[in-house]
Amino acid sequence: MSAQIIDGKAVAAEIREQIGRDVAEFSAQSGVTPHLAAILVGDDPASAVYVRNKQRACENAGILSTLHRLPPETTQADLLDLIATLNADGDVHGILVQLPLPSQIDEQTVLDAVTPLKDVDCFHAENVGLMVQGRPRFLPCTPHGVQQLLIAAGTQVAGAHAVVLGRSEIVGKPMGMMLVQRGAAADATVTICHSRTKNLAEITRQADILIAAIGKANFVTADMVKPGAVVIDVGINRVDDKLVGDVDFEAVKEVASAITPVPGGVGPMTIAMLLRNTLTAAQLR
């Protein structure tokens, strides 16, 4: 029997509708409109699409969105000056720096420059530390989106063995930390695998929940998946003119009990969680 397809578009649409209602209520009570400032450096086509989608989602939820487009030759100093200006602007509640950045700019320096109170991507060390301690100011957008999909699919996470493929600062590490916390879509036993992991397939076949976030097209094959596992595919890779995930979807859906598609799975959830963090940032101010 084929797996249940976890429809990220539909789940995200419901969440965005609720955020829109929450934004309207907050604005009516406070007279403040949540405001997200996005910074796009260079002319990478994929980044431009991502930013445009985020802006459209903000507009639909009643959140003000301002885009700062900078040329590809922008210096690190100029970018840091802009971030300092946005940090000091009381009308701006969230700051998003679209990655990747041009090679002349150090990403970590730039991300560290965003004040933690406006760090709606939850990349700053202060916010990551709070999240690890179980008292988050914001939650990282993609891992939080994954948790919401697990809830929507009715997945039993507490006590389950969750295996995360990938140890990136954006997805893999925070995903593992969030799954091991106490709470909804958490309380799991977590294994994080990476490029140096030995006997990888033996480990992934133990997973009740398998989350793939390594950036390798169709890497997870059916023989790597435990029958009945829930498979969440965070990857997005372009193969010829087609977008595919880290999971061999057609083969794995015949083994798993539930699976996310690419596109239309985790991606829409990431944007929805960004909107939630932006509203939270406005409320905190």
Write down the pLDDT at residue 1: 65
Q: How far apart are CA 171 and CA 215, in angstroms?
A: 11
The answer to whether 136 and 130 are in contact (CB under 8 A) is: yes
Write down the pLDDT at residue 264: 96
Q: Does domain 141-267 have CATH number 3.40.50.720?
A: yes
Write down the pLDDT at residue 45: 87
Catalytic residue among 22, 118, 119, 121: 121
Q: How far apart are CA 216 and CA 146, in angstroms?
A: 19
Q: How far apart are CA 79 and CA 93, in angstroms?
A: 18
- Kindly state the average pLDDT of the residues 186-210: 98
Q: Do domains 31-115 and 141-267 have the same CATH topology?
A: yes
Give residue 255's Cα distance to chain centre. 26
Identify the burial level of 202 via C-beta atoms within 10 angstroms of its C-beta, where 0-12 means exposed, 13-18 middle and 19 or more buried: exposed
Q: How far apart are CA 277 and CA 271, in angstroms?
A: 10
| Phi and psi, residue 157, nearest 5° | -95, -40
- Residue 96's SS3 state is strand
Write down the pLDDT at residue 46: 86
Catalytic residue among 54, 118, 173, 253: 54
User: 54 catalytic, yes or no?
Assistant: yes
* pLDDT tens track for 157-186: 999 999 999 999 999 999 999 999 999 999
* pLDDT tens track for 60-77: 999 999 999 999 999 999
Q: Which residue has the tokens 């997973």?
A: 207
Give how far Cα 152 sits from Cα of 4, 109, 110, Å: 12, 37, 35
User: 242 catalytic, yes or no?
Assistant: no
User: 81 catalytic, yes or no?
Assistant: no
Q: How far apart are CA 240 and CA 242, in angstroms?
A: 6
What pTM, to 2 d.p., does this model score?
Answer: 0.96
The answer to whether 185 and 150 are in contact (CB under 8 A) is: yes
Helices 266-284 and 8-30: crossing angle in degrees, nearest 10, is 10
User: Could you tell me the CATH superfamily of domain 31-115?
Assistant: Leucine Dehydrogenase, chain A, domain 1 (3.40.50.10860)
Above 90 in pLDDT, residue 25?
Answer: yes
How is the chain split into domains, by residue range?
Answer: 31-115, 141-267
